[in-house]
Structure 1
Amino acid sequence: MSFIKHRSKPDEMKVLETLNDRMNLTVKEKYDLTNLAKGFEGEQKFDEWLLTLSNEWNILNDLRFEMNNTYYQIDSLSLFSETIYQFEVKNYEGDYYIEKDTWYSIKGKEISNPFLQLTRAESLLRRFIKSLGFNYSIESYLIFINPEFHLYHAPRNQQIIFPTQLPRFMNNLSKKTSKVAKNHTKIVEQLLHFHLTESPYNRIPKYTFDGLKKGIICIKCRSFINTFNRMYLICDHCGNREKVTSAVLRSVDDYMILFPEEKVTRKVIQEWCKIVPGKTIINILSDHYKMIASGKNSHYIKSDK
């Protein structure tokens, strides 16, 4: 098994997590963050299952494409011999049921039909692959990863894999053999070329630098640290101890997540970290970033060292 494109935390999730520490998110925004975190957790668990496959499997995660102004995404795509395997992973928890092809939570709330989502993505992917000049068959599977999930009135559908079926399903995949090794280089190059690096869906709330709470956040309990102590910062709330350098670098990362287009300067990072003196900020930035000197516009960028 070879991960050609690894899975990474969604940018939207990174931003919402960082904002959650520094402003009051709405109930809807917190709900979105919870769903993103739960979905990402489920996808990571499925990646652990993919690790059991042989080296003949080439895997690309988190693919996003647009076909005729229609956007779709694929949680995991695996290439094996002449077949493309598409996996849609759901980390649903609790009881659900189906009535007349409509999916509901046990409380009666209608939810989007995940199987229709799978078949729609498969149709778009098939047309896309054909437009690129490749002739691959496609097998698509809806994976329910959470062992606490149950679906009443579940259809007899071999494309839907429930948690109890997952070990057997992955074992069957691992037993597949290819008489002739297939070179997937060309199709992989095309898939990566047309992959959209940014999602067109934006659920990020509006925010400004001035509107966010400043300071260094405890890595353990997410409280703001109130006291600076040369080498270490100690959280008044939980007692966690962290080196100043580590804490400042984390805070710089948070700033860059929220303001990727803005320059990293000593002044702005000192204001962002609040309790750390300017001299300490300069020393940390100089040690870990490359300084671009241009008078009042001097700033720091990621260093190769």
Structure 2
Amino acid sequence: MFLTDRKDPEELLFYQALSRWRGLDKNSEEHLWRLRRGAAGERTYDLLFDEAGHSNLYVFRDLYLQIEGSVTQYDTLIVSESGITVNEIKNFSGDYRVEGTTWYRGDYALPDDALSQLRRAVGKLLRLKRAVSFEFEVSGKLVFPHEEFRLSGGEGSLFQHLVMRYDMRRYFRSFENEYSGGCASELADVIERHIVPNPYFKLRVEFDMVRQGLYCGGCGSFRLEKQSFHHLCLSCGSRESNETHLVRAISDFKYLFGDLEMTSRRMMGFMGGAVNVRTLQRILNKYCDAAGRYKSSNYIFKYYDFTEAMKKEQNTRKYKDYLN
């Protein structure tokens, strides 16, 4: 069973928001593309794992573990009575080759050796093993979910650590005879005690460095026409409720500005006064927790991102959206 959610990385949410509110240079656009590709690979992985079934396992996704004073990120940890299996997901596409310990895409040498990354991740869990009072095994695989990934070169032993797209279903079915008993439950508890928030996300932008207004969730245009309870996109014809627009802006504010206090006055400036204060205040009270000395001086978004908020509040929303 999946014990943790797979969410879009904070870095991805930052660059997606920045691409709308300020725009990106070429290097940042390429980085955003890589982040989106990585997230797509993780969704493919989860879908195929779901199809194979995992109710007999404890599966942790997208987590950070603090072990011996340092923090390591893991794409997936599969826990059973046999121990922990690390799955690092690499959504590479195209032709790659390995020479020695160096991975190449064409003539370009990748800065990081994927197998060495996996070994470091496994090594951290072996250190965790020394810190607890029972024995368990740790193993790992690099999983490549893209159908157009091809790899050549390398020693034969390299491929023992890899799972290609065509072999993923068989790989997941290999866990059918595993089970999660008392040892697995205790091991899952140990992992949960070591989970920490992402300490590496530090990206921020200055408040005055972005444009003001609201943008269409369909095409990204800021050319909106205000109606009674919706905004009409003059570029693509999509019509979204005021609530949808405000929640998207609140989520983007969170990832663009970090610790900057979210006040109603600051949000009005961020949105260019696109809605009246009463509407904004109602949405802030619904989707945020009030904080500060007077309980209304600033707000903290209650949800991870716009997608989570829309999903959890879908039954309380009065007006529908119409995207083209």
| Shorter-chain TM band | 0.7 to 0.9
Aligned to 1:245: 243
Question: Structure 2 stretches of 5 or more lacking a match?
Answer: 303-312, 317-324
Contact 1:105–1:111 under 8 Å retained in 2 = no
| Structure 2 Cα separation of the partners of residues 21 and 184 of structure 1 | 44
The reply to whether residue 158 of structure 1 matches residue 160 of structure 2 is yes
Assess, with a 3 A threshold, how the Cα gap between structure 1 residues 115 and 293 changes in structure 2: closer, same or farther: closer
Aligned to 1:266: 264
Q: Which moved more, 1:83-92 or 1:157-166?
A: 157-166
- Separation of aligned partners in 1, 2:22 and 2:12: 15
Provide the TM-score with structure 2 as the length reference: 0.82
Aligned to 2:186: 186
Contact 1:85–1:138, Cα closer than 8 Å, also in 2: yes
* Pairwise CA distance, 1:44: 1.8
1:256-296 CA distance string (max 9 Å, x none): 23234333332222111112233432344455556679779
The aligned counterpart of 1:35 is: 34
Q: Tell me: CA distance 1:144–1:226, structure 2 relative to 1, closer, same or farther (3 Å).
A: same
* Structure 1: tracts of 5 or more residues without a match: none
The count of corresponding residues between Structure 1 and Structure 2 is 300
Q: CA deviation at 1:112?
A: 2.0
Asked if structure 2 preserves the Cα contact closer than 8 Å seen for 1:214 and 1:271, the reply is yes
Q: C-alpha deviations, 1:24-76, integer Å up to 9, x for none?
A: 32333222222222112111211122222342200011232344555432210
* SS in structure 1 of the partner of residue 261 of structure 2: coil
Measured in 2, the distance between the counterparts of 1:71 and 1:290 equals 29
% identical aligned pairs: 22
1:131: which partner in 2? 131
Query: What does residue 305 of structure 2 align with?
Result: none
Please say if residues 266 and 282 of structure 1, whose CA atoms lie closer than 8 Å, have aligned partners that are also in contact.
yes
- Provide the secondary structure at the position in 2 that maps to 1:239: coil
Q: In structure 2, do the counterparts of structure 1 residues 293 and 209 end up closer, same or farther at CA, with 3 Å as the change threshold?
A: closer
Which residue of 2 is the match for residue 254 of structure 1?
252
Question: How far apart in 1 are the matches of 2:68 and 2:289?
Answer: 43
Amino acid at match of 1:271: G
Summarize the Cα distance change of 1:105–1:227 in structure 2 as closer, same or farther, 3 Å threshold.
same
- d(CA) in 2 for partners of 1:293 and 1:66? 30
> CA 1:10–1:236 in 2, change beyond 3 Å: closer, same or farther?
same
Q: Which amino acid aligns with 2:238?
A: N
1:167 lines up with 2:169 in the alignment: yes
Separation in 1 of the partners of 2:294 and 2:183?
A: 53
Give 3-state SS (helix, strand or coil) of 2:270's partner: helix
Alignment-mate amino acid for residue 168 of structure 1: R
CA 1:289–1:281 in 2, change beyond 3 Å: closer, same or farther?
same
1:17-166 equivalent positions in 2, closer than 5 A: 17-51=16-50, 52-68=52-68, 70-156=70-156, 157-166=159-168
